[in-house]
Amino acid sequence: MSVNYSISELARELDVTTRAIRFYEEQGLLAPERRGQERIYSPKDLVTLKLILRGKRIGFSLAECKELIELYDPSGGNRKQLEAFMSKIAERRLQLAQQLLDIEQMQLELDTAEERCLAALAEAPH
């Protein structure tokens, strides 16, 4: 028998808010079964939510997370999903490398501005 989760159980399991889970549901990323007003989440929903949270941690947008999740094909394996994931990882690495260069450049500009201010302060009368 598979384990199902209420929204509060799922939230506790993954340390997220119920509001976040409802947001992901509104975005079409989760589709729990309904029993009246109660949402019933399956183990698949748990895995999907784990993938969303992992994707967000490494800087993927919700659209990118959704794209990767939709590529999963239980009958044909997950090769397409993994290849797309590898491509997104490479893109993210390039973005981070550019951000790192931008930060380093900004630090150099701050160093220059600081040196100029210190020199001007040293020459200014008290």
pLDDT by residue, tens only, the chain of 126 residues: 568 999 999 999 999 999 999 999 999 999 999 999 899 999 989 989 999 999 999 999 999 999 988 887 777 778 888 899 999 999 999 999 999 999 999 999 999 999 999 999 999 887
Whether 60 and 109 map to the same domain: the answer is no
Are 6 and 40 spatial neighbours (Cβ–Cβ below 8 Å)? yes
51 in any annotated domain: yes
One domain for residues 4 and 52: yes
Output the pLDDT for position 19. 97
Residue 38 near residue 59 (C-beta atoms within 8 A) = no
Count of the separate structural domains present in the chain: 2
92 and 66 both lie in a single domain: no
Same domain, 116 and 64: no
Q: Is residue 13 part of a domain?
A: yes
79 and 87 Cβ atoms separated by less than 8 Å: no
Q: What residue numbers bound the domain in which 40 lies?
A: 1-70
Specify whether 8 is located in the same domain as 46.
yes
**Domain match, 10 and 43 both:** yes
Residue 46 contacts residue 14 (beta carbons within 8 Å): yes
